[in-house]
Structure 1
């Protein structure tokens, strides 16, 4: 085979590959079935999880490594347990992930920690002697730490989510009270507040509105909100609203009072946090500023003594 013919074949192969990439990219740009149907069923999809972006990009990886990851996630589930606690935290986090997906993410964190520690040990082994057994034990320990760190990260995510809900609650409660005072019903007021706001608690309100639109009674949707939230103020709000809908009691004053109570609790917690941080603020003063001050005060005397001493 001559060189020109070989070059022509290689160029043709590269051109075919580029054309195939362009064709696949154009196919991915086509609107999906969900995006075409969503405008016609928008009233029952409020609060539902949005379709995950880039799912097609990871389809090949899930097809190849998915079975192994799922089997390893099953092993992690049997070893660690605590399925009820994980489900409860995922629910409080308002996460769309299932227990199986969370266990798979734990496996991914463990594998990443194992691989990172292995890479560090291999790099260190190029300049020093590393015992294989000790390195294997360190890698396994790093993998276990990664699995446990994912569970700890979920707990921190739940705490941050509840803090955001607590910060947003007074404003949303006041908006809801204004909507009710303007003459709107509880359901329409919830819908209006959920539409004009954006945040952690707004998503919970959209979920309540979506449940009501699908035919679920408002009291049941609010009871579900009270059960899944970990914020006492939101639980009291849901119970108060459910009782007001069932018995027809006034809402405006109660909502304003609840918002004021949450704001006062936030201010009190801020003052308490500042009082606790006073002790931490003394650490740089005692260990950094004070030694430098003492050094500047006594150093000239030490120098003069060393000079005058025969």
Structure 2
């Protein structure tokens, strides 16, 4: 006797439930939109970096450092490699301004390591290379070849900064004519597009002329101070005041020198820079 297997027909209710489930899943998949968290975080990150930069310019080092670290944390959370490298470069500049050169070098080494495995825009890579050269210069490393290469960068800002830094190197090596040529080249390229670097070029020209034309050297120092006052960057203004104080001290004009050192001291006190305060006080007492 043949026993045929009985096939159970699916019940209409089961079919209906399955269809409803499929339709629901399809609708959910088609209509679902992820929360707009990422763009918000990117804007938040950019704002943090902007705030940190402003704090740094105002000489508020502790606030700038805190904001940079917060930005660094956020950039790593959202895996924004470009922002991470930019923040590391900014922190490096902050640390060198407070004399923490070895700490700055560690940050740049970290940024370099990241740049080797991430795709970064050309301008960020050039900024990173310049910062490597700047740290190397401060550590007395041979960075001239890298700086010469960067002086032909596609980015005007990098070219100007590189020329200024090569000039600093040449002044250090007492090659004043070469330094003067580089600084004039930087000023021609600049055309007032980067006022901070324009002031740097003029200040360095003042050092170039110290031994051959004191009057012209003084004019360059005063022009640099004028620009830094326009930009309202306290640390730069204080450093200009100190430069002029040393200039007039060496010229034998003690009263003028004292006035500039006193004004520099006022700024350092306002910024809470104890190390620079002590230095200014010593200069005043020596007059």
* TM-score, structure 1 as length reference: 0.29
* TM-score, structure 2 as length reference: 0.31
Larger relative contact order (Cα-Cα within 8 Å, sequence gap ≥ 6): 1
